[in-house]
């Protein structure tokens, strides 16, 4: 007389089928939910390792990732707590969470880009803690103070970004600054008249593009000077009724006086 086959609930029967056949069968939403819940909450370590290895070796199957995570995440949680206890005397919650987050992130990357495993019985059991350790150490010791910052070989060749994205706001700030500069009491009257003339003419008339930059000085052109406007000394001289050389001399003198008064230590644009 043959012995009776022991009855297994549907969940355990499906899990037993996965372990014995080492393949992932077709699962509907209810079956997937019941199996992943059981693996996440009630399965032991050996069963989780067996199901996770099957899912890892069959990672292209539709439900492989669900089964893999339901087995690996509890293992990663216990591994992180144990490893933190070994490394630190009294590990904080942040240290344990950092180890756990790094371990899960590393094993997710490994699942989407799987490494070939050796044909050995305990290959996956030794491979999984190794990936946990790689992710945990990377997450714990990685500095995020320079996150998303790119490096360049030569800072002089990098163009500075436009600090004023709003042109209306930029124009208002410029007009207010010109009024304060042109009425600065330490300037000579002739210098103040030149600055007042620049303010009255406006940027559309008094500014011009640096068309000469690429022809005369290619290095300055690479730094971004070609796109920056400059004062049109000829227009200012014509409006003031003086020579162009006189306007250049006055602008140079006013620049030195204003720079000494407002930015004598050279830290004005470094601290604001």
> CA-CA distance, 103 to 60, in Å (whole number)?
22
Question: What tens digit of pLDDT does each residue of 68-90 get?
Answer: 999 999 999 999 999 999 888 88
pLDDT at position 159 is 65
Question: What tens digit of pLDDT does each residue of 145-184 get?
Answer: 666 677 777 777 766 665 556 677 777 777 777 777 777 7
If we measure between CA atoms, which residue out of 224, 180, 173 comes closest to residue 203? Answer: 173
What single string gives the DSSP state of each residue in 119-176?
SSTTHHHHHHHHHHHHHHHHHHH---TTTT----S-GGGSPPP-S---HHHHHHHHHH
Choose one of 141, 157, 187: the last residue of a domain: 141
> CA-CA distance, 148 to 261, in Å (whole number)?
38
Residue 262 in domain: yes
Alpha carbon of 177 to those of 58, 181, 252, 259: distances in Å?
Answer: 68, 6, 18, 13
Q: 203 by DSSP, 3-state: which?
A: helix
pTM attached to this predicted model:
0.51
Q: What is the mean pLDDT of residues 259-264?
A: 72
Question: What tens digit of pLDDT does each residue of 221-259 get?
Answer: 545 555 567 788 888 888 888 888 888 888 888 888 777
Number of domains in the chain: 2
Looking at the structure, tell me whether residues 181 and 216 fall in a common domain: yes
Q: Do the Cβ atoms of 174 and 203 come closer than 8 Å? A: yes
Q: Do the Cβ atoms of 73 and 67 come closer than 8 Å? A: no
Looking at the structure, tell me whether residues 122 and 34 fall in a common domain: yes
- Domain extent, residue 237, equals 165-271
Q: Crossing angle, helix 233-240 and helix 189-201, to 10 degrees? A: 110
% of residues, the chain, pLDDT over 90: 16
Looking at the structure, tell me whether residues 215 and 112 fall in a common domain: no
Residue 4 in domain: no
Residue 149 in domain: no
First to last CA, the chain: 92
Residue 115 in domain: yes
Looking at the structure, tell me whether residues 122 and 25 fall in a common domain: yes
């Amino acid at each position: 007389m043959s012995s009776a086959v022991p009855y297994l609930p549907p969940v355990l029967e499906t899990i037993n089928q996965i372990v014995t056949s080492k393949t992932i069968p077709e699962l509907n939403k209810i079956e997937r939910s019941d199996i992943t819940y059981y693996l996440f909450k009630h399965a032991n370590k050996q069963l989780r390792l067996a199901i996770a290895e099957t899912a890892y070796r069959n990672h292209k199957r539709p439900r492989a990732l669900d089964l893999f995570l339901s087995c690996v995440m509890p293992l990663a949680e216990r591994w992180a707590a144990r490893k933190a206890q070994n490394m630190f005397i009294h590990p904080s919650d942040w240290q344990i969470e950092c180890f756990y987050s790094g371990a899960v992130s590393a094993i997710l990357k490994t699942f989407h880009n799987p490494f070939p495993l050796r044909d050995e019985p305990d290959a996956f059991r030794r491979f999984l803690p190794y990936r946990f350790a790689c992710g945990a150490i990377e997450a714990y010791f990685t500095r995020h103070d320079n996150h998303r910052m790119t490096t360049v070989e030569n800072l002089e060749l990098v163009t500075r970004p436009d600090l004023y994205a709003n042109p209306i706001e930029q124009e208002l700030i410029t007009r207010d600054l010109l009024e304060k500069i042109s009425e600065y009491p330490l300037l000579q009257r002739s210098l103040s008249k030149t600055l007042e003339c620049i303010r009255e003419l406006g940027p559309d008339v008094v500014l011009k593009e640096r068309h000469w930059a690429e022809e005369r000085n290619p290095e300055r052109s690479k730094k971004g000077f070609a796109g920056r406007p400059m004062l049109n000394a000829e227009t200012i001289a014509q409006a003031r009724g003086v020579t162009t050389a006189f306007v250049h001399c006055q602008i140079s003198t006013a620049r030195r006086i204003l720079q000494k008064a407002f930015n004598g230590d050279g830290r004005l644009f470094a601290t604001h």
